[in-house]
Amino acid sequence: MKNQLPDNIKKDIKEIENDNTSGSVELAKKSAEIIINLVNQTGDLEQIKKASLSLVEAQPNMASIFNLVNNLMFYIDKNKKQQLKKIVTNYCKNYLNNLENFEKKIKDQAINLIKNRARIITHSYSSTVLGTLLFLKESKKEISVICTESRPKNEGIKLAKELGKNKIKVKLLVDSAIFSLIPYADIILIGGDAITENGLINKIGTKGIATVAQHYKTPIYALCSTEKLLPKKYPINLDHLKNPNEIIQYNISNVTAVNYYFDLTPLDFFTGFITEKEILKPEEIKEIIINLKIHDNFSDLLSDEDLDIPLI
């Protein structure tokens, strides 16, 4: 049927849905390639719309995916007289180039903020944080990094391996141990999958780290381009439980293993947000979000609620 996506595209979108370890930027890059492949295959606008919606539904908390396809829909509307294949291909390639440029600009902002011999804490895996830490090393700044393991998928171990491979000194801790070291850190650098007006969506445990950082007045910054910002009324989905076997592989009487991947950290818990534009304060982030629009293609997603993890 014409409205059905090609099998290879459906397979690629399913892989995006099942990817529990890649960051938002990495998934956005993969999503852009899927859209380019689809328009080269079919050249059909309705299929582009359908694939765009499917990508958002596959990873609803990944703002970079939403902004990729949301802005694509607006771009198509403005350039209807041009050939669809050309419009979509040019847009996606520009988007990918922008992501690369944004990461470079974030690194440039961070290097002026972080002193030599800084003790840096981070959590989970973020390609932007990794790139920034490697850039600090390349710029001859001596740093040491404390990584959490970031259970249940252990993305923090992945980050620690990459840093160690590049001769950066790393301490790797179990998640609950990190709170004891926060008062001794010079700075905390966190990635992020999305930013709403009510908070930053990132790997579970981020909210706890930010809460303790506030108490000890340890500076904490989120490294996020403005492509991570979500419009008001965009629904966030934090209450979706993941496979309990990732926590424990056997049953215990009267015990339920509860496996959340993400939490929502209020913007005011952060010292600032290192973006491609400049280092923004929480109130400046909120001002940008107010002006963001959602294309009609995604109107069914709209919500009046911004959900945090429900009480257990």
Count of structural domains, the chain: 2
Tell me the per-residue pLDDT of 50-85, one tens digit each, with 9 for 90 and over.
999 999 999 998 899 999 999 999 999 999 888 999
In a domain, 307, yes or no: no
In a domain, 304, yes or no: no
DSSP classification of residue 5: P
Pull the structure tokens for residue 274.
């290192």
CATH number at residue 268: 3.40.50.10470
Amino acid letter for position 116: N
Q: Are residues 154 and 266 both part of a single domain?
A: yes
Give the pTM: 0.89
Encode the chain (312 residues) as per-residue pLDDT tens digits: 456 899 999 999 999 999 987 877 889 999 999 999 999 999 999 999 999 999 999 999 889 999 999 999 999 999 988 899 999 999 999 999 998 899 999 999 999 999 999 999 999 999 999 999 999 999 999 999 999 999 999 999 999 999 999 999 999 999 999 999 999 999 999 999 899 999 999 999 999 999 999 999 999 999 999 999 999 888 887 878 899 999 999 999 999 999 999 999 999 999 999 999 999 999 999 999 999 999 999 988 776 555 555 544
Tell me the per-residue pLDDT of 260-277, one tens digit each, with 9 for 90 and over.
999 999 999 999 999 999
Residues contacting 123, CB < 8 A, separation 6+ = 147, 148, 150, 156, 178, 188, 190, 202, 203, 205, 206, 209
Domain that holds residue 25: 7-101
Identify the H or E element spanning 148: strand 143-148
Using the Cα atoms of residue 192, residue 197, residue 199 and residue 201 in order, give the sign of their dihedral: negative
Q: Are residues 150 and 227 both part of a single domain?
A: yes
